[in-house]
Structures are given as structure tokens and as C-alpha cells.
Amino acid sequence: MSAAQPVPARSRRRGRFDPQMAVVVARYALRSCFPTKRRIGLALPAAGALLFALLARVIPNSAPVALAQVADGGLFGVVLPVGCLVIGDAVLGAEVRAGTLHFTWLSPASFATIVAGRWLAGFAAALVALALPFGLAAVVAGVPEAIAPLMVAAAAGSAAYVAVFVLLGALTRRAVVWSLGFVVLGERLLGTALSGLAQWCPGWEARAVYARLGPEALDTLHRKGIPEGGSAVVRLVILTLVALGIAAVRLGHLRLSGPSGD
């Protein structure tokens, strides 16, 4: 091949971000990535949130303190990451493994558009499956003033979580294993020890959102060196954007070799 190739414009090659097309991708992802079984699976974390709220009622502390206790260990420690893991894997990683991503990949839509659409679908699912139950949990726990703080924290945290899990879906076929590794080893083990790392962990930052906005928060929810409230939301937004940006680049380097992976 000796003929010189005309170099197309960068935007033509990669395509432009198209918000309308991202909505098209999101609607499709919501329909195709959440079949009945997965929807039932998503009901489990929601049920878990309500069970933790019931647990708060039997803790011999004031209702806000009890809610903060279950929020720390249960809602933000278990329900949020597990629910987001299921959702984040469903919108990208599961499709890569199933060999059906090519229906989306083989289109003029830019990788940024595809990733944004997938994330949008995951975020919408997380709002319904996690943020709403978190709000309901505040009611069940008898702390109605915590409804908005819990929902905001859940929404901001799930936005970042889903973005991270979408990124892992674009990076590896074993996205679930790596996602679990991120939560257990990265967040819980290393994040507990290192504040510098915890600043960029969705779970810790979601706690920090609630720590500032919530009616009463335990000392464990306040953590030195981690920004709280609005600053934590900004961190989570930055984390979301960075993860989605890397995922978009990575999507262009995926080897889509069918369901077997051969």
C-alpha cells in the first residue's frame, strides 16, 4: 500500500457528541439491558434499603442517629455499590459479553454519544431503583427531613458508581469481578485507610454528601480530608466525567469478538 491516504477531519472520524442520539441509545439500553430477571434483581437492593430503614427503627438511638448508622454501614456501604454494580454492568459490560453491543457500535454515533447514552440509562435506572428507595427509607426510619439529603447523596453517588462500572465494562470482559474488586479492595480496604484515595471513591463521597446535608450525622460519616456536601457532589461529577471520558476512548479500542470472546 503506497498510496497516500487523505486524513479526514478529526470530528468526522470520531463523530460529534449528539445529545439526541444519546437519548436514543439510553432508551434502547433501558429496554434491552433490563429484562425482567434483571429488574427483579434490582428490586433486591431496593428492598434492602427498606430493611435497613426498619433496622434503624429498632436501634436504641434517636431516629436521625440510627438512620445515620444504617446509612453508613448499610445504605452507602452495601446497597448503593451493589445496586450500581448490577446496573453499571448491565448497561455495557453485559452487552459486550453477550455479543450484542455491535448493534450500537456499528453506527455513525460517536463513542462519547454511546457511552453517555449507556450511562444515562444506568443513571435513570439507579434513580428509580436506588434514589427513590433511599428516600422511602428515610420515611420508614421516621426521619422525613432526611428524604432529600439521602436521595441527593444516592443520586450523586450512583452517577459516579455507574460511570466507574461502565468504564470497567469497557476495559475488561470480567467487569463484574473487577467491579467487585473496586468496591471491596479499592473502596473498603484501601479507601478506609487512605483519605487521598477515598476522595475519589463514590461510596465515601456519597457518605460525605449526606454527612453535610443530612439532619444528623455520625462522626464516622464525617471524615477528615474529604470534602462534604456540595463539594462532594462536585467531586462525584468530576469522577463521573473522567470515567465516562476514558470509557469513550476505550470503546474505540474494544475487540468485539462475539459472545464467546474467541
Partner 1 sequence: MTVTPGSPPTAPAPAPPVEPALDPAFVPNPTVVVSGVSVFFGPKVALSELSCSFGPGVTGLLGPNGAGKTTLMRAVTGLLAVSAGRVWVAGGDPRSDRAVQGHIGLVPEDEAVPGGLTPRELIRYRAALHSVADRQAPDRWLAVVGLLDAADRPMDGFSKGMRQRAKVAAALVSNPTVLILDEPLNGADPVQRANLIRLFRQLGDQGRTVVVSSHVLYEVERLAERVVVLVTGRLAAAGDRRGIRNAMADRPRRVLVRADPPRVLAAALAGHEAVGGLEVDGDRLTVATRRAGDLALALPGLARSAGVRLWEVRPLDESLEALFRELVR
For partner 1, the binding residues (CB under 8 A) are: 1, 3, 5-6, 8, 12-15, 21, 24-25, 28, 31-33, 35-36, 95, 98-100, 102-111, 252-253, 255-260, 262
> Closest CB to partner 1 among 4 and 58?
4
- Report the alpha-carbon angle 53-85-105, nearest 5: 145
Q: How far is the CB of 261 from partner 1 (least distance, A)?
A: 10
Q: How far is the CB of 125 from partner 1 (least distance, A)?
A: 14
Q: How many residues does the chain have?
A: 262
DSSP string, 137-183: HHHHTT-GGGHHHHHHHHHHHHHHHHHHHHHHHHH-S-HHHHHHHII
Q: How far is the CB of 32 from partner 1 (least distance, A)?
A: 4
Q: Are 82 and 42 in contact (CB under 8 A)?
A: no
User: Phi and psi for 84 in degrees, rounded to 5?
Assistant: -70, -30
Cα 119 to Cα 8, 13, 89, 178, 227: the distances in Å are 29, 23, 10, 18, 25
> Closest CB to partner 1 among 112 and 208?
112
All cell numbers assigned to 93: 459490560
> Closest CB to partner 1 among 21 and 233?
21
> Closest CB to partner 1 among 112 and 244?
112
Q: How far is the CB of 254 from partner 1 (least distance, A)?
A: 8
> Closest CB to partner 1 among 70 and 109?
109
Q: How far is the CB of 95 from partner 1 (least distance, A)?
A: 8
